[in-house]
Chains A and B, each alone.
Chain A
Amino acid sequence: MASVSESDDLFDCILMADDRFHVEGYREGYEEGTREGLLEGRNHGMVHGARLSAELSFYHGFAVTWKYLLQTNVDAKSKKRLKAVESLIGLISKFPFEDSQYENLQEDTERVRAKFRQVCSLLNVTADFRDYVSGSATMSF
């Protein structure tokens, strides 16, 4: 870009000044935007992570308790129930549900939920209790 005439130089000066202001504004804005983004992202992420964790941790505590309660019985029915409960505990324990980037998050969540329903069915946990469970998983959130 061989700039020969005076007016060309003048235009270049104007454009550069233009750019400089834009660039400086951009830099400041970027810093601010990053701060905002982190904060907003964190606030949103917190609610989502909390919701899933509350649900899965609930199943976990529920299952662990039943495991200890059932272990005292030796009849065939309790053995079956215990096996199902332990299977549920196993599913939850290996599940890194606090990692939002975990690639099987959705799949594993569904698996745990399905297992929990089966366990409830085996334990004869009543319908209104189940309403409470699904309600609490969605209610406050």
Chain B
Amino acid sequence: MKDTLDLVHRFNAHPDSRCWFVAWNPRGTLLASCGGDRAIRIWGKEGDSWECKCVLSDGHQRTVRKVAWSPCGNYLASASFDATTCIWKKNNNDFESLTVLEGHENEVKCVAWAPSGNLLATCSRDKSVWVWEVDEEDEYECVSVVNSHTQDVKHVVWHPTQELLASASYDNTVCIYKEEDDDWEVRATLEGHTSTVWSLAFDPNGQRLASCSDDRTVKIWKECQPGDGDSAEGTWKCVCTLSGFHDRTIYDIAWCRLTGALATACGDDGVRIFKEDATSDPDQPIFSLSAHVPRAHSQDINCVAWHPKEAGLLATCSDNGEIGIWKYKSEE
């Protein structure tokens, strides 16, 4: 491995609690984190270090599990175990709570904005996925509720260019959703993992989907095209499985928009970067382990996030409440 992954900065973000998730804003100037202390923190770079610009501590009554920036960067959504999703509006250096989306019966596990900025998806332990629409007056309305999974839904992610949604669940499957007649419906169910699917990531142009699981593998999925042999259109098949690389559950996966590198967050406290072989067939891709930091944190790593503007910059966060900033260098 000639490629390297080096620690640039490490700091404690959520004292005495887990840091569950980190998300870069679209311009890459801010990093939002959330944790078991029920707070959201906004971090900005000041010279060589990271400073906490803002703390949002009154939004939720329980753990904040994930945060997501709107495509325009002016809004932040937070998903909490208190069964609500809060929408925050950025006001200079501060954030105000705009609205609270209720409806899920229990813990909300994820929230994600569609690239258009008009739609939001949430998912919950109540096994459902909700799609919300936001209008010009910042009013949020539930467009669809889909009960497609049979267990806790861990993650939802939007396709980078199309209006297509994917969800990952404790029931070992991934569901793909499309809108049909003003209602969102399941178009495909991806089976293959043998345990909980924790997270998902689309590749930069949305042709493939990566999933990571408690079964310690990463799977790459591709939608079958017309003329693809015996597979019907609209079905997805697994074109690659990365196994034997992770020693524990893989909690998160991120696909870099700039370099195409895949990063994983693992319960064995390690961060790994995978690179796709340039010569491999896109229908049968080959990924190899490019870099690995075995004890990146002293506890489980919950999240990994590529910087949207600076190639190779990566943020991680851990059960020990820390955030790590890393620099990945690849010799092309």
Asked whether B183 lies within 8 Å of A87 as measured between CB atoms, the reply is yes
Return A52 CB to nearest CB of chain B, in Å: 15
Asked whether A114 lies within 8 Å of B145 as measured between CB atoms, the reply is yes
Question: B residues 134-180 with Cβ under 8 Å of A?
Answer: 141-147
Bound-state CA distance A110–B175 (Å) is 16
Partner pick for A114 among B102, B141, B147, B182, CB 8 A cutoff? B147
Bound-state CA distance A113–B146 (Å) is 9
Question: B residues 103-133 with Cβ under 8 Å of A?
Answer: 103, 105, 128, 130
Q: How many residues of A contact B (CB 8 A)?
A: 15
Bound-state CA distance A118–B144 (Å) is 6
Bound-state CA distance A120–B147 (Å) is 15
| Given known A-B contacts A80-B141, A122-B141, A114 and B103 have beta carbons under 8 A apart | no
Residues of A near B141 (CB, < 8 A) are: 80, 121-122
Bound-state CA distance A127–B104 (Å) is 10
Partner pick for B128 among A80, A83, A117, A127, CB 8 A cutoff? A117
Asked whether A113 lies within 8 Å of B147 as measured between CB atoms, the reply is yes
Partner pick for B142 among A83, A87, A121, A127, CB 8 A cutoff? A121
- Is the C-beta of A48 less than 8 angstroms from some C-beta in chain B? no
Residues of A near B103 (CB, < 8 A) are: 117, 120-121
| Given known A-B contacts A87-B183, A127-B102, A114 and B142 have beta carbons under 8 A apart | no
Residues of A near B145 (CB, < 8 A) are: 114-115, 117-118, 121
Identify the closest chain A residue to B133 (Cβ): A80
Bound-state CA distance A115–B128 (Å) is 11
Bound-state CA distance A117–B105 (Å) is 10
- Is the C-beta of A134 less than 8 angstroms from some C-beta in chain B? yes
Residues 245-289 of chain B, each 1 if its beta carbon lies under 8 Å from chain A, else 0: 000000000000000000000000000000000000000000000
23 contacts between A and B (CB under 8 A): A80-B141, A83-B182, A87-B183, A113-B147, A114-B128, A114-B145, A114-B147, A115-B145, A117-B145, A118-B130, A118-B142, A118-B143, A118-B144, A118-B145, A121-B102, A121-B103, A121-B130, A121-B141, A121-B142, A121-B145, A122-B141, A122-B142, A134-B105
